[in-house]
Amino acid sequence: MEAIREIVKVKNRQVIINLPDDFDAEEVEVIVLKAIENEIPQWHINEVRERTSEYLKNPDIALDFDEAIKDIENEL
């Protein structure tokens, strides 16, 4: 089964869904759900901005992902 998921704007109580060129179904099922807004808390935005700023000042402070995972696993 092929599925397409999109968040589209409603205009005049209508939506337009553009299908890929290779989508050849004669009939489709459409389920319409109200999109949920993902609100990011201000403290989280501030934290990311602060960390980004610190990283840009000194990129050497960044941790290697694999090493960080090993450290976490060793602590468990």
- On the question of pLDDT at 24 being above 90, the answer is no
**Structural domain contains residue 14:** no
**What pLDDT score was predicted for residue 72?**
93
- On the question of pLDDT at 1 being above 80, the answer is no
- Report how far residue 55's alpha carbon sits from residue 69's, in angstroms, rounded to the nearest whole number: 19
**What pLDDT score was predicted for residue 57?**
92
**Structural domain contains residue 64:** yes
More confident residue, 76 or 61: 61
**Structural domain contains residue 69:** yes
* Range of the structural domain that residue 49 is part of: 42-75
Q: Which two tokens stand for residue 37?
A: 């807004």
Label residue 11 by pLDDT band (50, 70, 90): very high
Could you tell me if 4 and 19 are in contact, meaning their C-beta atoms sit under 8 angstroms apart? yes
**What pLDDT score was predicted for residue 29?**
94
